[in-house]
Structure 1
Amino acid sequence: MRIILTYGTFDLFHVGHIRLLKRLSELGDKLIVGVSTDEFNLKKGKKSFFSYAERAEIVQSCRYVDQVIPERDWEQKRNDILECNVDVFAMGDDWVGTFDSLKDICDVVYLERTENISTTDIKSKLAKINKSELDKIELHLHDLIDIVKILSDN
């Protein structure tokens, strides 16, 4: 049995995640996914929209994933590879070279990310939409204040 291991935050689960997990699952017989805990994300300076439990449940529900484990720190990868008898450690190509030190215990593969989609981009677009909507509301509030002033003067 060929076992594949990857890690990620998997916040705002999207088609890029699905495509990555599908390609990872095609590399072997079993795909294990380490999902970053909320505490680990804080150490990395990240804040997820969904809690660890919710993200782990979402990832586990993906048909390409066989097992989900918590990712608690950077150092656990070597231990997880050994404990789970991992054959291939795989990450997105934005991590190229970062985990080459694990090549002494398994194959290390970096897969291309899905173009034009990332959680960071989604969050950025949502923030702009929210800012735009808030600006519109603020304009309407100023209009209402002006109307109230006019009415109270009469």
Structure 2
Amino acid sequence: MAHTVRPRKRSHPNNQDDTPDAKRRWMTPIPVSSPAVMWIDGNDAENPPRPPRRETRLTLEEAANVQPGERPVRVYSDGIYDLFHQGHARALMQAKAAFPNVYLLVGICSDELTHKLKGRTVMTAAQRYDAVSHCRYVDEIVPNAPWVLDDEFLDKHRIDFVAHDALPYASPGVEDGYKSIKDAGMFLATQRTQGISTSDLICQIVRDYDDYVRRNLARGYTRQELNVGFMKEKEIKMKDRLGKLKKKITEMPAKAQEKWTKFEDKSYEMLDKWENKSRDFIHGFLRMFSRDGAISGILKSGKEFVRDAFDAIKSPEREEEEDNVPEDETNSSTPSPSTSYSD
């Protein structure tokens, strides 16, 4: 059930009208809705009810004339929705506003299917379901959505139209996963928001990697939680201290700043040497365990030593046999069993 929260003041566009009527207009309560319902397979008792099947497929003209209070047009939009952002929200807004009366279902693919066909996600499936469910345009979440829609899925959820951007999306075995939907006249094209995507957000994080590591280390996260090596942690912390010190130095006289510049250059030179030494140490450590490395040589020598030790030990039976061998056979060129090993 919808409810309201405490009024939040909104700034007037020209900051001039301070009359009581104007204040009432700009301090209106903001409505808050409950999260979208979640469809769960096999849980028919609690799932949102499905309307009866339509006798004929709804056309675009008919859908445009469906008014509030009548049976809504069921529009379906699907995606991954990783790091849910304004581009996703605007696409769902377009789907919701496609007709006067729309019930918007949003299908979200599982981790297993997404990682297999597209790649790793930042958020888990449960996190993505929950994030999209709080978008005000969404009426229902359909988890574990299929990669390609078929007639059975469309009929099960009583879908009238499918909303997505018009670009062809290649899927296993097909050039465009939405081709059958387009051919059936059920496709609603939405516009992508330029300048924002999940890939763009990830690029921003990767680009400013050190800054975010420094930020989270300062907030109490450990290097293990951030998957940062020991040397990298020390390097980032030292750069952070140098940055703070540099900020203080800029407020000092020119002579002090000159000394600081020399110190800073030496500090970064030391960091570079430190990083190079650590890299050399790691490579040297790995080379020790290579096929021709020192560890392999030690293991090989150890095996030969053990083998020779066993060769040198003669069992009582073998010694007795050798004592009973005639002298002419002993002087023959045929080697005895105890000396049959060769390197």
TM-score, normalised to structure 1's length? 0.79
C-alpha displacement of 1:145: 8.8
* Structure 1 segment 4-153 matched on structure 2, within 5 A: 4-28=75-99, 29-95=102-168, 98=176, 99-103=178-182, 107-130=186-209, 137=236, 140=239, 143=270
Identity of aligned residues (%): 26
Residue type matched to 1:127 in 2?
V
Aligned residues between the structures: 147
SS of alignment partner, residue 124 of structure 1: helix
- Contact preservation (8 Å) 2:78, 2:145: no
SS of alignment partner, residue 138 of structure 2: coil
Q: What CA distance in whole angstroms lies between the structure 1 residues aligned with 2:149 and 2:179?
A: 15
Q: What CA distance in whole angstroms lies between the structure 1 residues aligned with 2:76 and 2:108?
A: 11
Q: 1:5 to 1:133 in 2, by over 3 A?
A: closer
Q: What CA distance in whole angstroms lies between the structure 2 residues aligned with 1:57 and 1:133?
A: 25
SS of alignment partner, residue 94 of structure 1: coil
Kindly report structure 1 stretches of 4+ aligned residues shifted beyond 6 Å. Answer: 132-136
Q: Which has the higher strand share?
A: 1
C-alpha displacement of 1:104: 5.7
Structure 1 stretch displaced more, 68-77 or 7-16: 68-77
Structural RMSD (CA): 3.0
5+ long unaligned stretches in structure 2: 1-71, 170-174, 214-231, 240-267, 275-343
Q: What CA distance in whole angstroms lies between the structure 2 residues aligned with 1:83 and 1:130?
A: 45
**Does 1 or 2 have the higher relative contact order (CA < 8 Å, sep 6+)?**
1
Structure 1 stretch displaced more, 122-131 or 12-21: 122-131
5+ long unaligned stretches in structure 1: 148-154
- Contact preservation (8 Å) 2:109, 2:147: no
Q: What CA distance in whole angstroms lies between the structure 2 residues aligned with 1:48 and 1:40?
A: 11
